[in-house]
A and B are shown apart, each in its own frame.
Chain A
C-alpha cells in the first residue's frame, strides 16, 4: 500500500505533460527542418535533425519512466492499460517524425520547386493533426469533457492532408519530363508525410474508446 500523500517530486501528470511537450516540440522542429531542406539549407536541416533526435530520445526516457510509474505505483489496471496504450501510440507519432527526418537525410529526395508549397502544406497539416491529438490527450487527463473538440480538429486536419496528398500525387505523375523512378520516389515521400495525419487519426479513434469507457 503506497500512501504517498506527502510525496513530492514530479507527479505522473507532470511527467505526461513533459512527454506531450516533447511531441509538440518535435512537430515544430520537423516542420522547420522540412522548410530548410526545401530551401536547400542543409546545414540547418542537419542541426534540426540532431535536435529532433535528442527530443525523441528524451521522449523515450520519459515514456519508460511513465510506464514504470504506471505499473508500480498508480492506477487501477483497467485505466492503466488504456493509458499505457495511449502513451505508446503517442510515442509512435514521435517516432514517425524522426523516421521522416532520417528518410529525407538518407535518401535526399529531389523535390521539384512547383511541389514545394504543397509539400510544406502537407507537412504542416500533419503536424497540426498531431498537435490536436496532443491537446485531446491532455484533455483526456485533465478535463475529459473538452477532449472531443480537439478530436474533431484532428479529423479536420487529416482530411485536409488527404486532399493535398492526392493533389500532389496527381501533379507528380502528370509531369512527363520526370523519370518514373523519380516520380515514385517523391510519391513515397508524399505518402510518408500523409501517414502522419493518418496515424494521428488512429490515435484519437482509440482515445474515443477510452473516453467512452471512463464515461460516468
Chain B
C-alpha cells in the first residue's frame, strides 16, 4: 500500500528527470555531441542518485519543518498536486520548478487540515527562490570574468580551449547531477519522510542507510528513470538552445547553476559557515531551470544586456506566485475529494491539551504561566484554534508560542506488552528495548514525556552532542515508537 501512495512522488521524480532538470546539467554536452545521450543518461542517473542519498537530507529537513504531512494518503495527494501544477505550468510555457509546486501543495494541505504553516521556513524557502537565479547570475559573472582572464593570460588556443570546454562540460554535468539530486530530492520525497515505514539498514556494517536515505534512493531512481526514458529530446533541444550563447558561456552557465544548487543543499558547507561565524545559506530545494536562466542572464548582462529575453525573466517571477497558488488549490480540492469521496485519511488530527506536566515544562522554559493556568485541562481540536487563543496573550513571543504548542501536543501512548512484543528487534538495540520494557504499563500524553522518561532510564535513548548521524537515527526510532504505542501498531506498513 505504501508503494501505491509513494507513486505520486515517483511520478514527480520521473517528471523532474524527464524534463529540464537533467537537460540543464547534461544538455550542452549532449547537444554538442561530445558525449552520447546514453553515457550522459548513465552518468546523470548515477550522480543524481548519489547526490540524493548522500546529501539529500539538508533540504528535506527544511521541507519537513514547513509541514510534516502526517498521513500517507495526504503525502500522496500533496506530491500529486505538485506534479500536476508543474505539468500545467510547463504546458503553458513557464520555467517552473517542482520546488514551487511542492511548497504550494503543502500549504494547501495545511489549509485543508487546519494545521499551522511554519512561516519562518516558508519565508526562508520563498526568499531562496528569488535568491537562486540572482545568485546564479552573480556566480556566472564572476566565473565568466575568471575564465576570460585565464584564457587571455595563458593564451589558450582555440582547439585547446575547445577541448577544455568539452571536458569541463562533462565534469560540470556530473557535479550538476549530484547537486540536483542533493537539492531536489526533497521535492520528490520530502513529504514522505515523516510517514516512511522504512527502518535503518546496514550492509555488512560498511554502508548504512537511514530510513530517509532509503526513500531518497527510491526517489533518486525515479529521477534517473525519467532521465533515461524521456529526457533525450529535451536534452538535445535545451542543449543546442544554450549553446547559442557560445561554448565558453555555456560552460560557465552550467558551472554557476551547479554551484548554486550545491550551495543550497550542502550540509557540510552550512556547518563550515556556521563554525566560522559566517552567515549560512539555507538548505532549500531551488529550481534548476531558474538557476540556469539566471546564469545565462548574468552573462548577458556582462555583455551589455542586449539579447536578454526579459519575457523569460517575467516568466520566472510569474512561476514564483502562480505555481504555488495552483498547487495549493489542486492540493486542497484533491484532499477534500480523497478524504470525503474515497474515505482516505489524509491527515491525523492532532489535538492540544495544556496538561499540568506541559505547564510545568513551559514554566521551566522561563515562560510566564500564571495567565495560562486557566487553560489547564482544556482541549483544542486543531493547531489553528490553539494558536488563535495563544495569540491573545500579548506577552508571548512567537518562539514562546511554538514551544507551548510543542509541549501541549496531545498523543495518548500506552506502553503495552503486546506493543513491546511487536517491536522491531533488529532495528532497536537491546538496551533500548529493555528501557521500554521498564516503562510497561505506563501512559504518556505527550511525546516529549515519553522521550524524557526513556532518556532517564537509558543513555541509549539520549541524544549525543556532536553526533548528528546518531541523533537523526534516534529521531527516526522515537518517531517509530511514538506511532507504535499511540496506535497499538506502527501506523504505516
Q: Does A214 contact B (CB under 8 A)?
A: yes
Q: Is the CB of A76 within 8 A of B165?
A: yes
A11 and B151 in contact, given A76-B247, A77-B32, A79-B247 (Cβ under 8 angstroms): no
A1 and B39 in contact, given A13-B159, A74-B159, A77-B33 (Cβ under 8 angstroms): yes
CB distance from A168 to the nearest CB of B (A): 40
A214 to B35, CA, bound (A): 22
| B160 closest partner in A (C-beta) | A13
Q: Does B88 contact A (CB under 8 A)?
A: no
Stretch at the interface among A31-39, A90-98, A141-149: A141-149
- Of residues 21 to 50 in B, which have CB atoms within 8 Å of A's CB atoms? 32-36, 39
Select one of A76, A77, A78, A142 contacting B157, CB under 8 A: A142
Q: Is the CB of B159 within 8 A of A216?
A: no
Q: Mark A59-81, 1 if CB is under 8 A from B, else 0.
A: 00000000000000011111100
A213 and B157 in contact, given A1-B34, A77-B32 (Cβ under 8 angstroms): no
Q: Mark B229-266, 1 if CB is under 8 A from A, else 0.
A: 00000000000000110111000000000000000000
| A70 closest partner in B (C-beta) | B159
- Of residues 252 to 296 in B, which have CB atoms within 8 Å of A's CB atoms? none
Select one of B33, B148, B162, B244 contacting A79, CB under 8 A: B162
Q: Does B107 contact A (CB under 8 A)?
A: no
Interface size class, chain A: 10 to 19
A76 and B159 in contact, given A213-B246, A216-B151 (Cβ under 8 angstroms): no
Q: Does A140 contact B (CB under 8 A)?
A: yes
Q: Is the CB of A76 within 8 A of B162?
A: yes
- Of residues 137 to 151 in B, which have CB atoms within 8 Å of A's CB atoms? 147-148, 151
CB distance from B378 to the nearest CB of A (A): 68
| B163 closest partner in A (C-beta) | A74
| B170 closest partner in A (C-beta) | A1
A11 to B157, CA, bound (A): 13
CB distance from A1 to the nearest CB of B (A): 5
* In the complex, chain B residues whose CB is within 8 Å of the CB of A164: none
| B155 closest partner in A (C-beta) | A143
* In the complex, chain A residues whose CB is within 8 Å of the CB of B34: 1, 76
CB distance from B42 to the nearest CB of A (A): 11
Q: Does A12 contact B (CB under 8 A)?
A: yes
Q: Mark A5-25, 1 if CB is under 8 A from B, else 0.
A: 000000111000000000000
* In the complex, chain A residues whose CB is within 8 Å of the CB of B157: 13, 141-143
Q: Is the CB of A12 within 8 A of B159?
A: yes
A78 to B244, CA, bound (A): 8
* In the complex, chain A residues whose CB is within 8 Å of the CB of B163: 74
Q: Mark A104-136, 1 if CB is under 8 A from B, else 0.
A: 000000000000000000000000000000000
Q: Is the CB of B243 within 8 A of A78?
A: yes
Interface centre among B33, B39, B159, B243 (most CB of A within 10 A): B159
* In the complex, chain B residues whose CB is within 8 Å of the CB of A144: 158
Q: Does B482 contact A (CB under 8 A)?
A: no
Q: Does B20 contact A (CB under 8 A)?
A: no
CB distance from A65 to the nearest CB of B (A): 15
CB distance from B291 to the nearest CB of A (A): 22
Q: Is the CB of B158 within 8 A of A76?
A: no
- Of residues 112 to 157 in B, which have CB atoms within 8 Å of A's CB atoms? 147-148, 151-152, 155, 157
* In the complex, chain A residues whose CB is within 8 Å of the CB of B36: 1
Q: Mark A143-160, 1 if CB is under 8 A from B, else 0.
A: 111000000000000000
Q: Is the CB of A74 within 8 A of B162?
A: yes
Q: Does B166 contact A (CB under 8 A)?
A: yes
A216 and B248 in contact, given A76-B165, A140-B158 (Cβ under 8 angstroms): yes
* In the complex, chain B residues whose CB is within 8 Å of the CB of A75: 159, 162
Select one of B32, B39, B246 contacting A214, CB under 8 A: B246
CB distance from B108 to the nearest CB of A (A): 45
- Of residues 185 to 200 in A, which have CB atoms within 8 Å of B's CB atoms? none
| B167 closest partner in A (C-beta) | A3
Select one of A77, A78, A214 contacting B158, CB under 8 A: A214
Q: Is the CB of A141 within 8 A of B159?
A: yes
| B149 closest partner in A (C-beta) | A216
Q: Is the CB of B39 within 8 A of A141?
A: no
* In the complex, chain A residues whose CB is within 8 Å of the CB of B148: 216
Q: Is the CB of B151 within 8 A of A76?
A: no
CB distance from B349 to the nearest CB of A (A): 56
Interface centre among A12, A13, A78 (most CB of B within 10 A): A78
CB distance from B188 to the nearest CB of A (A): 29
Q: Is the CB of B247 within 8 A of A141?
A: no
Q: Mark B416-427, 1 if CB is under 8 A from A, else 0.
A: 000000000000
Q: Is the CB of A76 within 8 A of B32?
A: yes
CB distance from B238 to the nearest CB of A (A): 15
| A11 closest partner in B (C-beta) | B159
| B32 closest partner in A (C-beta) | A76
Q: Is the CB of A79 within 8 A of B158?
A: yes
A142 to B155, CA, bound (A): 8
* In the complex, chain B residues whose CB is within 8 Å of the CB of A79: 158, 162, 247
| A144 closest partner in B (C-beta) | B158
A143 to B158, CA, bound (A): 8
CB distance from B306 to the nearest CB of A (A): 14
A144 to B36, CA, bound (A): 31
* In the complex, chain A residues whose CB is within 8 Å of the CB of B158: 79, 140-142, 144, 214
| B145 closest partner in A (C-beta) | A216
| B158 closest partner in A (C-beta) | A141
| A12 closest partner in B (C-beta) | B159
| B40 closest partner in A (C-beta) | A1
CB distance from A136 to the nearest CB of B (A): 13
CB distance from B165 to the nearest CB of A (A): 7
* In the complex, chain B residues whose CB is within 8 Å of the CB of A216: 147-148, 151-152, 248
A76 to B170, CA, bound (A): 13
Given contact pairs A76-B243, A77-B33, a sample of 12 additional A-B residue pairs in the complex whose CB atoms are under 8 Å apart: A1-B34, A1-B35, A1-B170, A11-B159, A75-B159, A76-B165, A76-B247, A78-B244, A78-B246, A79-B158, A79-B162, A145-B152
Contact surface of B with A, Cβ cutoff 8 Å? 32-36, 39, 147-148, 151-152, 155, 157-159, 162-163, 165-166, 170, 243-244, 246-248
Pick the 3 closest A-B CB pairs, nearest first.
Answer: A76-B32, A216-B148, A76-B247
A-B contact pairs, 6 of them (CB 8 A): A13-B157, A13-B159, A76-B32, A142-B155, A143-B155, A144-B158
